Amino acid sequence: MRHIAVMIYRDGEDWVGQALNVNVSSFGKTPEEARESLSEALALYFEDEDAPELHEVADPRIEEVRV
């Protein structure tokens, strides 16, 4: 079993679930739907034995940057 760092955030009226260790994301109408949909997408992603390894994400933080 893999442990994947994910971020759940609102985008307009939808919620987005984004994996931080691999380039996989999904969405739903609620945070729970986004998490469930992301979990299903990740299961499909890792179903292929040739799927890339996870990138380690240690202590993820959300910060604001001015540009």
Q: Is residue 31 part of a domain?
A: yes
Q: Is 33 contained in some domain?
A: yes
Is 55 among the domain residues? no
Residue 53 within a domain = no
Question: Is residue 41 assigned to a domain?
Answer: yes
Token pair for 44: 């499909």
DSSP state of 12: T
Q: What is the pLDDT of residues 7-62, one digit of tens each?
A: 999 999 999 999 998 999 999 999 999 999 999 999 998 887 676 778 888 888 88
Read off the pTM.
0.81
Is 17 within 8 Å of 6 (Cβ atoms)? yes
As for how many domains the chain has, the answer is 1
In a domain, 64, yes or no: no
Q: What is the pLDDT of residues 20-32, one digit of tens each?
A: 989 999 999 999 9
> Is 18 within a domain?
yes
Residue ranges making up the domain that contains 37: 6-47
Has residue 59 been placed in a domain? no
